[in-house]
Amino acid sequence: MKISALPLLAALGVFGFAGAFVWAAVRPITPDAAEADGKMPTANVSEVISDGLLDMQVFVLDDLGVRLELRFAANSGAVSAARTSPDVNLAMLDMHMDGLDPTLEPTGPGAWRARFQLPMAGRWVISAGFAEDRAEVEFDAR
């Protein structure tokens, strides 16, 4: 019985190619991967929610600019919430100012980014998630 190596090599190639895409979608955000110029996040959180893991990083930039990076890794077998953008809300803690909803742009499977300007300096909180499952992180903008 003679077995050809060509089907085995083709199957290994397909599995390797698919594995690279799966790893890119589920790997956690690292500061090196999130920011090309080496800027460290001002605040970050990884929160386990019912359908998976939500990673959130906040970068406070010059002149009260903010960049928000979100990545969602869905649990196996979960209904993929990664296809829809999470809800994001900002609130200023000291002034009870809320209702700021930045627009998210997709950057890859299960990944989004938002850039926006804060109206004033102070202590802020960002809440992001799907329906009732949310992650929150506080940060100072000066």
pLDDT digits 0-9 by tens, 75-102:
876 655 556 889 999 999 877 776 788 9
Q: Given a cut of 60, is residue 135 above it in pLDDT?
A: yes
Q: Given a cut of 90, is residue 20 above it in pLDDT?
A: no
Picking from 51, 72, 79, 61, the residue whose alpha carbon sits closest to that of residue 128 is: 72
Cα–Cα distance measured from residue 45 to residue 89, given in angstroms and rounded to the nearest whole number: 15
Strand order in the sheet with 133-141: 97-100, 87-92, 122-130, 133-141
128 close to 101: Cβ distance less than 8 angstroms: no
What is the domain range of residue 117? Answer: 5-141
Structural domain tally of the chain?
A: 1
Whether the model pTM is above 0.75: no
- SS3 (DSSP) at 129: strand
Please report, for the domain that includes residue 39, its CATH number.
2.60.40.1930
Picking from 112, 62, 55, the residue whose alpha carbon sits closest to that of residue 83 is: 112
Which amino acid is present at 43? Answer: A
pLDDT digits 0-9 by tens, 97-129:
767 889 999 999 899 999 999 999 999 999 999
